[in-house]
């Protein structure tokens, strides 16, 4: 028997996507509505008062990559974490654990589905943004690849979270108390260059700064940090997550008693 069963992976992937569409109001409409509100409040209301924009980019357009990332980080993390936590919570995980399914099929299924949902959301949000602001994407292919990379990385992170959590509180605490503040402070709504010292230096310790600026570079060709650094750190994060999940499957940590 081969080391990767594509049909098993496809089965998990399909199931997870169906679960998302079953809860479309929560999975798709809610984040789109939230992001739309950001565009209205920050892009249209506040942005209209900033005549010079940021770094030569209209403020409404400037925040598009940041808002996109805000949604991708939150949704990738929560979708993947719920995807694996719910069967653990209900006991239905027995079926996965007793099947001839390894770490590769599981990741392609759960993480692939979560990343796909994020990509669908990203497309909807970009379409919604075009209704409010006039923006352009300088490097569309890079932008797509970068969004894919970040979606996959944070879906992996969410998967780890879903395995680690032993309560619904723990499941939501990381996105709410860690991820969201880091994203807001990570240059979603402003350029790091606008901060005075020492806040600027402190902000550089926030990993989300590199993610936001990486995506912003694909949109406008400029960012606060080098794109290579953003890309390198994202790939490193992805590799760490994959390594950790491989360890989880090898040892059965939190999965097998």
Partner 1 sequence: MQPILEIRGLTKTYKGGFTALKGVDLSINKGEIFALLGPNGAGKTTLIGAVCGLVRPTSGTIHVFGEDMGRHWRRLRAKVGLVPQELATDMFEPVLRSVNHSRGLFGLPPKPELIEETLRALSLWEKRDDQIRTLSGGMKRRVLIAKALAHEPELLFLDEPTAGVDVELRRDMWKQIAVLRERGTTVILTTHYIEEAEEMADRVGIIRKGEILMVDEKAAMMERLGRTEALITLAAPLTEVPEAVSAYPVSLIEDGKVLCYRGGGGEGSSAGTAEVAELTKALTRAGIDYTSIDIHESSLEDIFVNLLEGPDAPAQGEAA
Residue 51 binds to partner 1 (criterion: CB under 8 A): no
Q: What residues between 225 and 254 interact with partner 1 by CB under 8 A?
A: 252
Residue 8 binds to partner 1 (criterion: CB under 8 A): yes
Residue 193 binds to partner 1 (criterion: CB under 8 A): no
Please work out the total of residues on this chain that contact partner 1, with binding judged by CB under 8 A: 29
In terms of CB distance, is 33 or 97 closer to partner 1? 97
Count of positions (residues) in the chain: 257
Q: In terms of Cα–Cα distance, which of 209, 215, 178, 177 is closest to 194? A: 209
Which of 41, 199, 226, 256 is in the footprint of partner 1 by CB under 8 A?
A: 256
Which of 90, 196, 197, 205 is in the footprint of partner 1 by CB under 8 A?
A: 90
In terms of CB distance, is 101 or 245 closer to partner 1? 101
**In the numeric block, which tokens belong to residue 244?**
């950790």
SS3 assignment, position 189: coil
- Whether 43 contacts 59, CB under 8 Å: yes
Residue 100 binds to partner 1 (criterion: CB under 8 A): yes
Backbone phi, psi, residue 57, to 5° = -105, 135
Q: Considering the complex, what minimum distance in angstroms separates the CB of residue 164 from partner 1?
A: 16
Mention every residue, 6+ apart, whose C-beta is less than 8 A from residue 103.
245, 246, 249, 250
Q: Considering the complex, what minimum distance in angstroms separates the CB of residue 94 from partner 1?
A: 5
Q: What residues between 126 and 185 interact with partner 1 by CB under 8 A?
A: none
**In the numeric block, which tokens belong to residue 200?**
């600027």
Residue 87 binds to partner 1 (criterion: CB under 8 A): yes
Residue 25 binds to partner 1 (criterion: CB under 8 A): no
Residue 12 binds to partner 1 (criterion: CB under 8 A): yes
What separation in angstroms does the CA of 216 have from each of 64, 78, 179, 199? 8, 23, 19, 21
SS3 assignment, position 57: strand
Which of 67, 96, 149, 160 is in the footprint of partner 1 by CB under 8 A?
A: 96
Q: In terms of Cα–Cα distance, which of 241, 211, 240, 247 is closest to 227? A: 211
Residue 198 binds to partner 1 (criterion: CB under 8 A): no
- Whether 72 contacts 120, CB under 8 Å: no
Q: Which residues bind partner 1 (CB under 8 A)?
A: 1, 3, 5, 7-8, 10-12, 14-15, 19, 22, 86-87, 90-92, 94-102, 252, 256-257
């Amino acid at each position: 028997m081969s080391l990767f069963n594509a049909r098993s992976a496809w089965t998990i992937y399909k199931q997870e996507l169906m679960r998302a569409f079953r809860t479309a109001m929560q999975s798709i409409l809610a984040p789109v509505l939230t992001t739309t509100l950001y565009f209205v409040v920050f892009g249209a209301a506040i942005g209209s008062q900033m005549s010079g924009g940021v770094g030569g980019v209209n403020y409404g357009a400037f925040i598009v990559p940041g808002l996109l990332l805000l949604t991708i980080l939150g949704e990738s993390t929560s979708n993947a974490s719920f995807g694996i936590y719910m069967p653990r919570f209900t006991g239905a995980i027995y079926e996965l654990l007793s099947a001839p399914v390894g770490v590769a099929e599981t990741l392609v299924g759960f993480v692939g589905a979560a990343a796909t949902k994020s990509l669908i959301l990203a497309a909807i949000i970009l379409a919604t943004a075009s209704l409010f602001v006039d923006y352009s994407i300088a490097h569309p292919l890079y932008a797509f690849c970068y969004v894919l990379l970040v979606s996959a990385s944070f879906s992996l992170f969410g998967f780890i979270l879903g395995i680690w959590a032993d309560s619904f509180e723990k499941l939501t605490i990381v996105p709410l108390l860690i991820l969201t503040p880091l994203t807001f402070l990570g240059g979603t709504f402003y350029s790091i260059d606008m901060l005075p010292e020492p806040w600027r230096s402190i902000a550089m310790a926030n990993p989300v700064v590199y993610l936001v600026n990486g995506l912003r570079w694909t949109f406008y060709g400029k960012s606060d940090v080098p794109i290579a650094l953003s890309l390198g750190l994202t790939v490193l994060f992805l590799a760490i997550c994959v390594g950790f999940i491989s360890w989880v499957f090898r040892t059965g940590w939190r999965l097998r008693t």
